[in-house]
Every structure is written in C-alpha cells, then in structure tokens.
Structure 1
Amino acid sequence: MAGAMGQRLAELIAQYEVPGAALAYLHQGELHEFAAGTLNADTGVETTTDSLFQIGSVSKVWTATMLVQLAERGTLTLDTPVIELLPEFKVADPEVTKTVTVRHLLSHTSGIDGDLFLDTGRGDDCVEKYVAACADLKQNHPIGATQSYCNSGFIVAGRILEKVYGKSWDDVLREQIVEPLGLTHTVTLPEDVLRYRAAMGHVEGGKTAPVWGLMRSAGPAGLICARPADVVAFGRAHLEGGLLKDPQAMWEPQVALPNPYTLGSHWGIGWILDEWSGHRIVSHGGNTIGQHAMLWIVPDTGTVVAVSANGGRSGAFTHAVATELFAELDGIEVPPVLGPPETPVEVDLERHAGVYERVGARVTMSVRDGALWCRMESTGALAGMSPPLELKTIPVDENTFVGREDGDPQWLSAVFYELADGTPYVHMGARATPKVS
C-alpha cells in the first residue's frame, strides 16, 4: 500500500480538482509520508511532504489538550466557571457569563454564538481584545441544551491559557506541545510560515484565495500551520502519552450531535467521536480560506492519519483518502456520506420553511416546485469570502434532508429538531441554527 499511495494520491487530487495535498500516516509503528500537486496555482511550486498547510480547526484539539494539561496539574477543573479564570469575561446573557464552564467551551455546548470572526490586530494582545468583544455575543441556544460548533468559545479557552501562563497563546502552544513533541514544522504566525515551503488556499474556479489566512485573533480556534507528519505526531501522543497522563479522558462523550451524518456521533473534550466497523474513531477536521485538513485516530489499531489539501472538492477528497486507506490498513469500512434514500419519501415540507439565523450565517428554507430549497449565506466579517450557496434538498426522513451543488460528489445533510422547550432548530455543518421567522 505504501508504495502505491503516492501514485494514488496524485490520481485523487486530479479527480477532486485539488491543487495539492500532503498525507502522513502511522501504521504498525511506522510513519509514511506522501505529497502530490502544487502548493500555489500562481507559482506552480511543488507540494512536498514537509510543506506546511493550515490545519484550521484541528488546532482546537491542541488548545483543548493544553487546558486538560492544566486540569491534570490541578490549576483548574473542566467544570470551573470561565469567569473564575477570566474575571473580565462577559457575554450578553448575564447568567451564561456566570455559569459557563471550561467543559462547555471544549465540547461546543456553551450556546454562545460561535462564528464571530473579528480582526483585533496583530499584537500579542489580540486574543485578549477578542474576548473583550464577546460581551455582546448572544446565545445561539440555552447553555448545555444542545451542541453547536463554537469558534468563539475556543478563542476564550485560548485566553484562559494566556492568563494562566502570562504569555501569548502562540508561545504557550510552542512550549507545551510543539517543543515537548519535537515538532520541527509546526508554527502559527505567517512570518514563521515564510521560513518553510507553504500552501496557498484556492477557492472557486481553482483561483488562489483573496487572502492567505484568517486574522490572528482566531489563533486558538484554528491558526496552526503544520506538515502532516507533525499532526500525526500530535495524534500519536494522544495514543501513547507524552502530553497527558490520561489522554483517553478527552475521548469521553460529552454530547450527542443532533446531526450525526456530518462529522461523527458525539463530541468529547475537543475531539469528535464516532464508530466505524465496530472501531472507535477519534478525529477532527479543519477548514480555513481554501484549505482543509483531517486528523483521524483508531485507538485499537494504533493507526493515525493526517491529510491536508489546498482547494477543490477537498471534503470529498479527504473522505476518499480515508475510505481507501483505512480499508487497506485496518480493514475498516468508512461510512459513506448520507445521500438520498433509494425510495423517495413524502414529508411535510412547509413545517420546516422559514429563516434560521445565527451570528455569521443565515439559512433560508423555502418550498418551491414541490421541494425544500436551502439558501446559505455568510454574514459578518466573512461575507465577502464566499458567494451564497443554494441547494435543492431531498428528504431522507421527516426531519433529515440532503442536498449538494451541481457537480459536487459530496452530499450535505440538515437535521431539523426541537429543543426540550420546543424551539425549532436546524443542524447543519455541526452548527445549531434557531428558527427566527
């Protein structure tokens, strides 16, 4: 398999229109590395195994790991209220301000609107300034009532690290994870990325992204740049030790995902949890502007896989890589992405029609020509980065729908559900969005 994977990777990036990709995996104690394509369509620079890619939200597990390190040392507990660690912390709901805990942040159950992307400058105080700006953030859902992906919560978690250590998140990351693991190709700041061969993101049409990366304040939620071998080394430390006394404690399910068809069935502490062919799977993915990364761990086989891509149909590409690789390495069948049922189902479409909105996104569900159409729009700071997406959806059952863009092999799923108090929500892309009209 190892010998053929280099050629197969090149074939897969061509199939999924990915400019360049790098792959590393640990299997039976041996590391394998592969690369294919180009890092930048404008320059034609070749992708190599030591190229740095933005790993996006995979960074969240690194931030969560450092909080768990503090818990193991007795500096805090996962159930310590955030305000005890950050007295200046505040959100719009005063009760949430007083009661939200570290565990809520790391399991995406705080309910705090999570997609505030705010440029607070390039200084070492950028995360501190970001947390101050959270004072106006409203609740996406009541605290602990459901799961909704929360970038904002992880930036707050990063600020806790800064407050405890008296250093920037970037410095804490280097001292607590990068240096102890001996990672030579893992950095966070663009001026450090420039020292290496690095990927540029690509957007629709294969064009290079309008900007290289996100604002520095998003660091704790998603600004690590690394080669896949370094990401594998991080994953391996969660199997074999080196960072935590009990890394498996992070694999304990904290909340079931209302939509289990997108990432996994449950969220742990930082990690996404699932089961494939009877094997526990621990993973996380990440997306930045035109870049995508995935990290998977199979605890009972010891296999760790990291793959990064810089554009194209990157989600379908990484799923295809996982499907072929895990079947070959461990005999594990990766579940196919949920698609339409073989036999069409008749459901009441009107009950789901309306506008669903949270910070950073507006989802409009409308019934047209006997189908439920979904229009997704980015709002706020990222509004100009991508055009609105409109999909015709197909019901799988009364509350589950799938849709995809023309030419896209990957289906997107939406699950409509209600909280305990009867409030209607739609769960898409790991986010809970309340119905507002």
Structure 2
Amino acid sequence: MKADMEHWAGRLAALSAESKVPGASLAFYCDGQTYECATGVLNTATGAPVRTDSLFQIGSVTKVWTATQLMLLAERGLITLDTPVVDVLPGFRVGDAEATATISLRHLLTHTSGIDGDLFLDTGRGDDCLAHYVEACAGLEQTFPAGDSHSYCNAGFVIAGRVIEQLTGKVWDQALREQICAPLGLAHTWTLPEDVLRFGAAMGHDDHGGTAPAWGLPRSVGPAGLICSTAADVVSFGRAHLTPGALLADPAMLRKPQVDLPNPYAGGQQWGIGWSLDEWDGHEVASHTGDTIGQHAALWVLPGSGTVVAVLINGGRSVEFQHRLISELLYELHDLRVPEPLGPPAEPVEVDVDAYTGVYERAGSRIHVTSRAGRLRMRTEPTGILVGLARPRSLELAAVDATTFVGRADGDSIGDAVVFEIRPDGPSYLHYGGRATPKTG
C-alpha cells in the first residue's frame, strides 16, 4: 500500500499546530519504501522553514546508537555484555566500592547499574572530555545496588561511550561515524556543532514558542544524547535493527527483555539492550524517545511488520503530539491501535497516602510529595546544572491503585504515571520519568 503523503503532510502540520510545535519532521518506512514530510520553522526567531533534510537533536535516542556500537565490539569478541567496566577502564570509580567492582556493560546498557546518573557535567570541548567525565563519576552515589532495579541513567551511557573510545582507540564521535554512519550511508547524522551548522539545524523552544536558553548540551554527554540527524537517517538506523548483517549479525539480541520496569506506564513494560520494549495491540514494539533543550525525538520499530517511524520536533507539547501522530499513523498503516496513556479511574480509588509523603532526591532533581484531604500533590524541582534548563512541574495525583498514581500538569492533555515502592527492609522509591528516586526525608 502506497502512503498518501499529501495527507500525512497535512496531518503533520495540523497536529503540530494543535500541540504548539514550531517545527516537525516525519519519516517512516513501510512496505519497502521510505516516506518523508516536514512542516513549520526551525527557529521562530528567524522563520527558517523545516525541510526533510533539516537536522534536529535526537537526544536520548542516541543511546540506542551507543548500545549498537558496543554490541558491534562484542560481536568482534573484544568484550561481552557481562564484562565489568573496570576491566576496560581500570580508572573507573563510583562512590560505592562494591558497585565499582560489579557494574558491567549490561548494567550500563539496561539502566540497571544503580548509579545516580543525571550528571550533566561540562568537561570541555576537547577530545578528552569523556575521560574527564568518567573521572568525575567517582563522586556518584548508588540509588540501589547494581542489578537490583531499573533507573534511567545518562551517566551510564557516557561511561559506555568511554569504553568504546578505549576499545577502538578513537574519540566516540569518530567511532560512531566509522561503526554506524559510514556503513549505513548516513550523510546527515552528526554530533559536533561545527558539523551540524553546515545544514539547516533546528533550535529548541520553550512552552510559549520562544527560543530555548541554549542550543545544545555539553560534548561530554555525547554518547547519552548528542546526535543530530534527519528523520530519514534515524529511520535508516532503525531499519538496520530489523536486518541481520546490515550492522549487527543478530540485531534481535538487543530486543531481548533484560529487566521489567517498575513503572510500566511510561514508555514500555521492559528494557532490552538500549531499547524500551512494549506490546501494542499484539505487535512487538521497540522504541526510544529523547529530549534535549526544547527539542524532542521518537523512534519506533515494529519487527513484525518491518515498519519504522521517526519524528523530530523542536518544542511544544511533545508527549501529546507524538502519541496522536503515532496512533493515527499505525492505525492507518496496520489497523493497529496504540494503547491510551494511563488516566485516572472512572471511580475514585481510596488509598492511605501518608506513607508516600516526603522528599525524594537524586542528582538533578528534588521531588516534594505532600498530601491534603487524602490526595497527593507532587512538585519536581531541577537542581544543579539543570536549573534554568528544565522547568519545575506540579502534579495533582489521582490514585489508580494502591501504589500507582497519575497526574497532569497545567496545559498538558496527557498525564504522567507515578509509582511508589516501599521496601520493608530498605529505602522507599518514587518511580517517575523512568527514574527511581529514593526517599530522603
């Protein structure tokens, strides 16, 4: 079935306008053909139009590329997933000595290392920036013992990037080009600003359409989220994960479940190697999303149908936009119904919420949970380098069951799921945004 791109260009424009998205680029592969369309502007201050060859920041979708790089090295026999990081990086340290000795590459790629890992540290623009970043990880504490749970960890992927540098003898950016970009012919995928500026590049925007306070994140967090690309290049990368030999001999290995997620309502039920894993209407779905400063990206791969979809935007209500777009597109292509996001129950659920109140804290975020008249309220505050780049959020939480709640911030049409975990013999956690945040007060 040939896709009607006049229709999808119109829908992309309409959905962007409804979700206050300044500019968007969509590409998808279906039935042997790649389709592309774009809408809006790259920068509201200049009015430069988005084209299908414009570059956007894909944020944490980068992590799937970094995971793929390590798997390529594993296929060459240089490492295994269970190789301890210290075996490759003898100087690697975190705050806990047992974790230092225990953390493996599998822990890094599945977000099960337990490292309190939202360390957005600028260690300079030099080729040694990842080495200096890993040195700074010596001060990071453990959220939980390695392998004990799942908590999204940016630092873990920077450490993985440094492992790639050590094994290849090249800086991560160059290794990326040689391992992935060159073999797949990705001419519009870059990491450094001096390369990106040769193309039309998107600027991030705040909730009101104004330009973001900065263009991008420091080079030192590159392996966790610094790729800039076109939607079509991202689709080509996704397709390689459905084709044995395109990059990896067995790309399906990355889609094998490694850990069940403690909050299965925020993007997937399980995590593989680099991929978030879910099932929609009987279809296996591997995906990843990414956020940088005012930009958002999403990549979905459906192995059963061979369909791959990527969408890149530079502001607006990203969760609402991506859900509406992928829901319409997959229903049209495959009669597939994407599950609706978790919402409050039709009838109120009575829960004793007092045990959940308090302060929860991790690197980059402090969360206050209070109660009033039996209802929970949650306020998140960015800390450290994220102050001024991320915004505080307040959510009124409605109980879904005894430990699961959902809340919607002002202006959002889709709620956020929050799961509380109280361990009788250990700390309590708040699972939100993919992170496990321990209770500290």
Q: Is the structural similarity TM-score above 0.5?
A: yes
**8 Å contact 1:206–1:311 — kept in the other structure?**
yes
Partner residue, 2:407: 403
2:297 to 290, 293, 297: 293
Q: Does 1:346 align with 2:347?
A: no
Deviation of 1:420 after TM superposition, in Å, equals 7.5
Structure-2 separation of matches of 1:95 and 1:390: 37
Q: Does 1:17 align with 2:17?
A: no
Deviation of 1:419 after TM superposition, in Å, equals 4.6
Q: Does 1:115 align with 2:118?
A: yes
Partner residue, 1:261: 265
Q: Does 1:189 align with 2:192?
A: yes
**8 Å contact 1:161–1:169 — kept in the other structure?**
yes
Partner residue, 2:33: 30
Structure-2 separation of matches of 1:231 and 1:387: 28
**8 Å contact 1:146–1:419 — kept in the other structure?**
no
Deviation of 1:421 after TM superposition, in Å, equals 3.6
How far does the alpha carbon of each residue in 1:335-391 deviate from its partner, in whole angstroms, 9 at most, with x for none? 111010011111111111011111111111001243200010111111121332111
User: Which aligned runs of 4 or more in structure 1 are off by greater than 4 angstroms?
Assistant: none
SS at match of 2:101: helix
Matches within 5 A, 1:74-113: 74-113=77-116
Structure-1 separation of matches of 2:65 and 2:71: 10
1:311 to 315, 334, 351: 315
Structure-2 separation of matches of 1:15 and 1:421: 48
Partner residue, 1:57: 60
How far does the alpha carbon of each residue in 1:48-76 deviate from its partner, in whole angstroms, 9 at most, with x for none? 11110000000000000010111111000
2:361 to 357, 360, 369: 357
Q: Which runs of 5+ in 2 are unaligned?
A: none
Q: Does 1:432 align with 2:436?
A: yes
2:239 to 236, 249, 266: 236
Deviation of 1:424 after TM superposition, in Å, equals 1.1
How far does the alpha carbon of each residue in 1:277-311 deviate from its partner, in whole angstroms, 9 at most, with x for none? 11110111100000000000000100000001100
Partner residue, 1:6: 9
Structure-2 separation of matches of 1:264 and 1:276: 10
**8 Å contact 2:352–2:374 — kept in the other structure?**
no
1:330 to 330, 334, 356: 334
Deviation of 1:2 after TM superposition, in Å, equals 2.9
**8 Å contact 2:111–2:156 — kept in the other structure?**
yes
Aligned length: 437
Deviation of 1:413 after TM superposition, in Å, equals 0.8
How far does the alpha carbon of each residue in 1:105-156 deviate from its partner, in whole angstroms, 9 at most, with x for none? 0000000011011000001110110000000100011111110000000000
Identity of aligned residues (%): 58
Q: Does 1:170 align with 2:173?
A: yes
Match for 1:332: what amino acid? L
**8 Å contact 1:53–1:226 — kept in the other structure?**
yes
Matches within 5 A, 1:188-207: 188-207=191-210
How far does the alpha carbon of each residue in 1:172-218 deviate from its partner, in whole angstroms, 9 at most, with x for none? 00000000000010000011110000100001211100100000001
Match for 2:361: what amino acid? E
Structure-2 separation of matches of 1:330 and 1:255: 29
Structure-2 separation of matches of 1:37 and 1:77: 45
RMSD (CA atoms): 0.9
Structure-1 separation of matches of 2:277 and 2:438: 24
How far does the alpha carbon of each residue in 1:61-116 deviate from its partner, in whole angstroms, 9 at most, with x for none? 00000101111110000000000000010000001111100000000000001101
Match for 1:174: what amino acid? R
1:321 to 325, 328, 341: 325
SS at match of 1:392: strand
Alpha carbons of structure 1 residues 320 and 77: separation in structure 2 relative to 1, 3 Å = same
SS at match of 2:254: helix
Partner residue, 2:283: 279
SS at match of 1:385: coil
SS at match of 1:7: helix
SS at match of 2:199: coil
Q: Does 1:385 align with 2:392?
A: no
Match for 2:117: what amino acid? G
Partner residue, 1:374: 378
Match for 2:218: what amino acid? M
SS at match of 2:352: coil
**8 Å contact 1:58–1:294 — kept in the other structure?**
yes
Q: Does 1:151 align with 2:141?
A: no
**8 Å contact 2:56–2:229 — kept in the other structure?**
yes
**8 Å contact 1:298–1:304 — kept in the other structure?**
yes
Q: Which runs of 5+ in 1 are unaligned?
A: none
TM, length-normalised to structure 2: 0.98
Structure-1 separation of matches of 2:354 and 2:132: 43
Partner residue, 2:72: 69
Deviation of 1:314 after TM superposition, in Å, equals 1.1
